[in-house]
Chain A
């Protein structure tokens, strides 16, 4: 600590700082800041209004301010104490030389309607003057429990934001603010970390229902303990200054910085250890084993025996009889009810962050080191993350201040599990023979002769062999750095230059051992897919800011600036299904000439922007913003486009003081209109030919792209209007913040599907309109607050978004977003975004009864809309109870409505392993059978044909209707019991508080979707609402020790 002080002193000296002034004949003000319950409050800010004198409280809540004699002339002054999470309090004192005592007792106020918040372009504004919807999440709220991905920790906490987490370690988390705007873009908000744009796009496009690995995105790299606040700018109104990337809103992440501590060092330590298990796994039947038609005998597991190639469980009844199995001849045929469950371990996640910070009123610094160590809940899956963060700020002389931040993150994933068909870990367990004993498969993956050992050789890999001998590794280095310099011309005008870069690179190695059914050519000794990915995003901007009281009642806040944003993405790949020497996954070892890929995408946006806001008498604010972008991805004629926005807010309780009462203490109304847009993807203007690295023998091959380029593209335009109200009741005991919005996106850059018979599959056009209307509300109440220190705080957020596809393109009434197993996810004119379009069961048009053939259901002749993925509403309800040093909080996350197509359930029934498939075979494999209610198609009479369970469940294949489920769910997202250690313990550590907490995530789920976690995501792309073998989100519980400065 002493060293830090010395360091800072030296640093200041080197930088030419003048020595700190020492006061002489002075007034000294001392006191203590405590909560209503008597708890000392550390780090509260105490300052003399208008005098540039202030300081922070110590760990025991005490403070001391010194007023120079010249300023202590017996006049009246206002002294204010404030701390985030509490209502600020002020007192009038007489400033005269000598000693003055002033204590404060602050009322806890989880409601922060009048704080300052960070808004677009990093401007700090008073929330009371904002005409737009902005919600801030503090470090404390963010870190109440631990999730692996920081975005998951926003879950249920921000109104109007829909977050879908991934079960995969380090996997994707999908986030959408106020509904999807675009049929082509990914609808993800723009992420800004300390002023630097960063992308939440999937590495390698993420997984899909058809397979792949979910490697997540770079946003999940950030260490949540280094984050000071996350501010969500909800939609275009709040984000208009970000122009063409703001249509989907902005998530501003501000990392922690040092504070003026009078040179004292402050320590932050946070460690947590959690244990993770899959939150939901399928429920299996344990009556029938592998096979078909009630028969099974193992010879070679590939068709040599009786149904032994078969991976379904419509075989003989599991009643202990002796049958040849993969483990040997004449083995007892018994169920292994735990054979899937025991594959999953109790995973472990360790997180640790240690940070030191400190500073004077001239310079400050913070350094932090973090480590995350995840052992996944599937075997041999680990994820290790190291983060380093350094930030510093210094004031040089009267005019210049500078600061710099750097986050360096390394991230190593090992055997991140596959998702979807073919590659999914869970996919195998949607077929796993119910008699299969996992123990021998775990014990060995190879036979004596070196060949593979498994329960089935036809369709599956031994699940342990997959995890132990097919290494999938990623190693990402991510640097987010920014530096800024501000020149303060005078007390109202400054200019700042901010430059930042986010650069990451990542090799992804997917290695496949010999015999890997999906990826390795059986003639060779394995295969590999190697990728080298890198991305750089550079952003610089120069802004002039003015903040001036023009008259005693009119204040001006204005800025103008210019920015340049350049990004470059590069992807190289080498893939082959054949290598020469086993275990060497190197291009030099390729036995089959590898397929090579190379892709480089560059784009740039140049902008000028400005904003001005006028505030009258502290109650009426009018703000206008304007921005012009020039995008490299659009044709020269249309690459310049202008975005204006306008908003206003009125604090009615200030304008009409008569309104103010004990009941209603604050009322603000706001409203605004904004226009933002989005440019096209790079290289969309010219149709190209695509070469293939695979030669035909020695002959090169080229093919014309299937996309007709459009040389006349225009930018997308989103227009959004919004009104809101903010209210505070009972002196901060209750608050309501609500918004109504209506936004519409036109001129969408749509990759329009054209008739393939035209020779092309898509053409980029500007067309269509999607509307999103919605309401969101955040309610906070403190139902109980006792002098004894007991407090109950309840927070509820709610958002309802109605999307409507107003138009697409002349003559086009539907647009396919994606699909799987003949079911498409579509945008349809007149409907909400995301219709599930597939086959229903065929029914008699007169009676509505099933039309059966041979006793079995049939697919309808044509496809129809079977559901829509949009939820009716989403919400979160958090309750926190505090008593002295103990707190208990629980967050419920609620997702109401919306449909999902569950491919897992379709195959789990086809394969006869899910519990539902016992129907019809209660007595034996074909007894009593199933006589479906319906009409026989050929006779027109009521059906009397008895079919077996096997015939029935397999006849449902690719009939989607039975597998469209209501995706409503309620999750106990977070549960936390915390204890604060006595203050003096924290004092020993130069910290303000020390606490220990027992935390849990996803401990309970209520859902109508059987067998599968209703919350799934293996891509941040637009094709949502189709689930297949996504790993369930972890259910975790653990302990968290935290020391905060």
Chain B
């Protein structure tokens, strides 16, 4: 090699060494991986707004409500493709998102809010989040039974489980009572900053949150009355006597007022924009029409040919075949105009203002029915003599909630023969008052298909709810099938839950539903059948 070559080689080698160094030691590399799109922390208020929106949009929305529980509660029937109404499209894979969505969306976010609130010792932040979590978990356990609770939502915590164990429904109920009591206790101690305007339910008013928490406490207490009357009684007392009290008027209702701006709309109105396949069920319409219920024209719309039914309102049977269901499309009542957004692909029904129709998380009417039942059963520190008053309060509240405010109309309805309270104060089988309470409560729960279905399972009222002629099974589901995603990735824990609770099918009864014949309102095995896991 010549000197020239060596010099050249040295220069080149040095050049490459430099290039390699530049390539390798670029300290910017790590910085480049900082996400410019999404932060690693967010304010509790913005999380809370989203969690409430998400939870309410699901349990009272177009899917779980309008395409599932409104059919299994038989308040609404499907007139076009009745797969869900026949329980054909309610398999674990179809309902998967309603099981998994709460955990991954609202419940997890609420847990983060609780952690943030507890870190700053601000009950105004973590109290409402605990109440919302309890409201949310209720739908989960009442729809499926045993679900993950104590182990749940800890996926990103050190040592947290990526495959949480399932808790028995009994222990979940115990947990809900405790959580609600703790939330009320904390909130009654006041807040530091609170959620204020970021709370779309009560604008940060902790007094209202206490009432909601205690009313919810009463809902859950009454739900377990067949299987564990002693605890039900104890928890009813706890709910009624807790600080802040329970709902005392419709002004206390837990409701989400939708902005109705085309982005966040009432989920039913949003659905009806483009789908016209829901018709009122025969079960609900028969009850409304028989009692000359002033809510008839609010819950439902008259059919085009008014000669078909006295008064022009009629429903269709649930669970028909596609071709049979289709024949009802033109001759059964649509859900009420207040749920319709005006212009729809099927025509003009309702008005654009209905996009802002609120969704009800829990109402004073429901609370009053709970009180009436408690009184008739002499539970929760109440006595049968109070039952009629609570019952009338409940019906009045429901009528007023739905816009029937004319006192004459209200008293006329209360005077209807089927409506006048006939409780005998026995609180046992054969007490006609308990049936009336169950039936009218079921009617008042319209739009909350989940609660209506849960209450039917508990009370066997209305007894006209039976599986339709084209249903894939011979009974109305007592629960839904577990998430197929959980079946894939949390198989062992799910199997343990199935071993505890019974086979994963529509017939298995959840814990509080295991003693249906104890219900004083129970009708018969043929009406309130499950298949007990067979």
Interface residues of A (CB under 8 A from B): 292-293, 295, 299-300, 302-307, 309-310, 312, 314, 457-458, 489-490, 493, 495, 515, 517, 521-524, 542, 544, 560-564, 576-578, 591-593, 595, 598-600, 602-604, 606-608, 628, 630-633, 635-636, 639-640, 682-683, 685-692, 694-697, 699-706, 708, 753-761, 763, 811-812, 814, 816, 822, 853, 858-859, 863, 950-951, 954, 957-958
Q: Whole-angstrom distance between the alpha carbons of A715 and B20 in the complex? A: 21
Min CB distance, A392 to chain B, in Å?
26
Selected contact of A758 from candidates B54, B103, B263, CB within 8 Å: B103
Given contacts A701-B53, A753-B488, A756-B483, contact A606 B104 (CB under 8 A): no
Stretch binding the partner chain, chosen from B34-42, B171-179, B226-234, B441-449: B34-42
When C-beta atoms are compared, the residue in chain A nearest to B161 turns out to be A758
Task: Indicate if the CB atoms of A628 and B24 lie closer than 8 Å.
Answer: yes
Could you say which residues of chain A place their CB within 8 Å of the CB of B259?
A: 696-697
In addition to A696-B264, A755-B163, 10 A-B residue pairs with Cβ atoms within 8 Å of each other are A495-B12, A522-B345, A561-B16, A630-B29, A683-B34, A700-B49, A757-B103, A757-B153, A758-B148, A822-B93
Could you say which residues of chain A place their CB within 8 Å of the CB of B38?
A: 683, 688-691, 705
Min CB distance, B263 to chain A, in Å?
5
Selected contact of A639 from candidates B29, B39, B107, B346, CB within 8 Å: B29
Q: Whole-angstrom distance between the alpha carbons of A937 and B354 in the complex? A: 48
When C-beta atoms are compared, the residue in chain A nearest to B83 turns out to be A957
Could you say which residues of chain A place their CB within 8 Å of the CB of B53?
A: 696, 701
Instruction: Give the number of A-B contacts (CB < 8 Å).
Output: 302
Stretch binding the partner chain, chosen from B322-330, B401-409, B427-435: B322-330
Q: Whole-angstrom distance between the alpha carbons of A599 and B36 in the complex? A: 8
Could you say which residues of chain B place their CB within 8 Å of the CB of A310?
A: 80, 322, 326
Min CB distance, B233 to chain A, in Å?
32
Could you say which residues of chain B place their CB within 8 Å of the CB of A292?
A: 322-323, 326
CB-contacts of B70-100 with A (<8 A): 79-80, 83, 88-89, 91, 93-94, 99-100
Task: Indicate if the CB atoms of B200 and A309 lie closer than 8 Å.
Answer: no
Task: Indicate if the CB atoms of B326 and A694 lie closer than 8 Å.
Answer: no
Task: Indicate if the CB atoms of B29 and A758 lie closer than 8 Å.
Answer: no
Task: Indicate if the CB atoms of A951 and B46 lie closer than 8 Å.
Answer: no
Given contacts A632-B29, A755-B490, contact A957 B43 (CB under 8 A): no
Please tell me if B314 contacts chain A, counting CB pairs below 8 Å.
no
Task: Indicate if the CB atoms of B486 and A755 lie closer than 8 Å.
Answer: yes
When C-beta atoms are compared, the residue in chain A nearest to B155 turns out to be A758
Given contacts A636-B30, A699-B49, contact A689 B488 (CB under 8 A): no
CB-contacts of B244-299 with A (<8 A): 259, 261-264, 273-274, 276-277
Q: Whole-angstrom distance between the alpha carbons of A691 and B323 in the complex? A: 45
Q: Whole-angstrom distance between the alpha carbons of A830 and B39 in the complex? A: 40
Could you say which residues of chain B place their CB within 8 Å of the CB of A521?
A: 262, 273
Given contacts A560-B16, A562-B20, A950-B322, contact A303 B79 (CB under 8 A): yes
Please tell me if B344 contacts chain A, counting CB pairs below 8 Å.
yes
Q: Whole-angstrom distance between the alpha carbons of A521 and B274 in the complex? A: 8
Task: Indicate if the CB atoms of A759 and B107 lie closer than 8 Å.
Answer: yes
Could you say which residues of chain B place their CB within 8 Å of the CB of A683?
A: 33-35, 37-38
Task: Indicate if the CB atoms of B23 and A630 lie closer than 8 Å.
Answer: yes
Could you list some 28 contacts between A and B, CB below 8 A?
A: A310-B80, A517-B345, A523-B273, A544-B12, A591-B262, A599-B37, A607-B23, A608-B24, A630-B24, A636-B30, A639-B30, A685-B33, A687-B40, A691-B42, A692-B50, A699-B197, A700-B49, A702-B43, A703-B54, A703-B109, A753-B488, A757-B147, A757-B486, A760-B155, A763-B162, A811-B163, A950-B323, A958-B89
Selected contact of B16 from candidates A542, A599, A685, A701, CB within 8 Å: A542
Q: Whole-angstrom distance between the alpha carbons of A217 and B277 in the complex? A: 39
Selected contact of B108 from candidates A632, A760, A853, CB within 8 Å: A760
Given contacts A522-B274, A639-B29, A708-B156, contact A756 B42 (CB under 8 A): no
Please tell me if B117 contacts chain A, counting CB pairs below 8 Å.
no
Q: Whole-angstrom distance between the alpha carbons of A292 and B329 in the complex? A: 13
Could you say which residues of chain A place their CB within 8 Å of the CB of B415?
A: none
CB-contacts of B474-533 with A (<8 A): 483-486, 488-490, 493
Please tell me if B425 contacts chain A, counting CB pairs below 8 Å.
no
When C-beta atoms are compared, the residue in chain A nearest to B30 turns out to be A636
Q: Whole-angstrom distance between the alpha carbons of A839 and B29 in the complex? A: 47
Please tell me if B464 contacts chain A, counting CB pairs below 8 Å.
no
Q: Whole-angstrom distance between the alpha carbons of A677 and B485 in the complex? A: 30
When C-beta atoms are compared, the residue in chain B nearest to A519 turns out to be B274
Task: Indicate if the CB atoms of B155 and A763 lie closer than 8 Å.
Answer: yes
Could you say which residues of chain B place their CB within 8 Å of the CB of A702?
A: 42-43, 46-47, 50
Q: Whole-angstrom distance between the alpha carbons of A604 and B322 in the complex? A: 56
Could you say which residues of chain A place their CB within 8 Å of the CB of B33?
A: 603, 632-633, 682-683, 685
Selected contact of B263 from candidates A302, A599, A628, A694, CB within 8 Å: A694
Min CB distance, B2 to chain A, in Å?
10
Is the interface on chain B under 10, 10 to 19, 20 to 34, or 35 or more residues?
35 or more
Q: Whole-angstrom distance between the alpha carbons of A598 and B261 in the complex? A: 22
Q: Whole-angstrom distance between the alpha carbons of A769 and B26 in the complex? A: 32
Most B C-beta atoms less than 10 A away, residue of A304, A630, A639, A704: A704
Could you say which residues of chain B place their CB within 8 Å of the CB of A542?
A: 15-16, 19
Q: Whole-angstrom distance between the alpha carbons of A1029 and B36 in the complex? A: 37
Q: Whole-angstrom distance between the alpha carbons of A706 and B104 in the complex? A: 6
Please tell me if B342 contacts chain A, counting CB pairs below 8 Å.
yes
State the 6 A-B residue pairs at the shortest beta-carbon distance, nearest first.
A592-B262, A293-B323, A758-B155, A756-B100, A759-B108, A303-B329
Please tell me if B472 contacts chain A, counting CB pairs below 8 Å.
yes
Could you say which residues of chain B place their CB within 8 Å of the CB of A600?
A: 36-37
Q: Whole-angstrom distance between the alpha carbons of A304 and B347 in the complex? A: 11
Task: Indicate if the CB atoms of A457 and B164 lie closer than 8 Å.
Answer: no
Task: Indicate if the CB atoms of A761 and B346 lie closer than 8 Å.
Answer: no
Min CB distance, A592 to chain B, in Å?
3
When C-beta atoms are compared, the residue in chain B nearest to A754 turns out to be B162
Could you say which residues of chain B place their CB within 8 Å of the CB of A686?
A: 35, 40
A interface footprint on B40-62 (CB within 8 Å = 1, 0 otherwise): 11110111011101100000000
Q: Whole-angstrom distance between the alpha carbons of A517 and B343 in the complex? A: 12
Please tell me if B8 contacts chain A, counting CB pairs below 8 Å.
yes
Q: Whole-angstrom distance between the alpha carbons of A686 and B41 in the complex? A: 11
Q: Whole-angstrom distance between the alpha carbons of A703 and B106 in the complex? A: 8
Min CB distance, A201 to chain B, in Å?
18
When C-beta atoms are compared, the residue in chain B nearest to A296 turns out to be B326
Task: Indicate if the CB atoms of A814 and B276 lie closer than 8 Å.
Answer: no
Task: Indicate if the CB atoms of A314 and B323 lie closer than 8 Å.
Answer: yes
Please tell me if B105 contacts chain A, counting CB pairs below 8 Å.
yes
Please tell me if B3 contacts chain A, counting CB pairs below 8 Å.
no
Could you say which residues of chain A place their CB within 8 Å of the CB of B5?
A: 489-490
Min CB distance, A576 to chain B, in Å?
8
Min CB distance, A680 to chain B, in Å?
9
Could you say which residues of chain B place their CB within 8 Å of the CB of A522?
A: 273-274, 341, 343-345
When C-beta atoms are compared, the residue in chain A nearest to B31 turns out to be A632
Could you say which residues of chain A place their CB within 8 Å of the CB of B89?
A: 957-958
Could you say which residues of chain B place their CB within 8 Å of the CB of A495?
A: 12, 15
Could you say which residues of chain A place their CB within 8 Å of the CB of B151?
A: 757
Most A C-beta atoms less than 10 A away, residue of B35, B164, B327: B35
Given contacts A685-B33, A759-B155, contact A595 B346 (CB under 8 A): no
Could you say which residues of chain A place their CB within 8 Å of the CB of B186?
A: none
Task: Indicate if the CB atoms of A704 and B162 lie closer than 8 Å.
Answer: no
CB-contacts of B327-384 with A (<8 A): 327, 329-330, 341-347, 352
Could you say which residues of chain A place their CB within 8 Å of the CB of B414?
A: none
Min CB distance, A828 to chain B, in Å?
11
Q: Whole-angstrom distance between the alpha carbons of A599 and B15 in the complex? A: 38
Task: Indicate if the CB atoms of A457 and B153 lie closer than 8 Å.
Answer: no
Task: Indicate if the CB atoms of B19 and A562 lie closer than 8 Å.
Answer: yes
Q: Whole-angstrom distance between the alpha carbons of A630 and B32 in the complex? A: 12
Task: Indicate if the CB atoms of A756 and B99 lie closer than 8 Å.
Answer: yes
Could you say which residues of chain A place their CB within 8 Å of the CB of B45?
A: 699-700
Task: Indicate if the CB atoms of A304 and B274 lie closer than 8 Å.
Answer: no
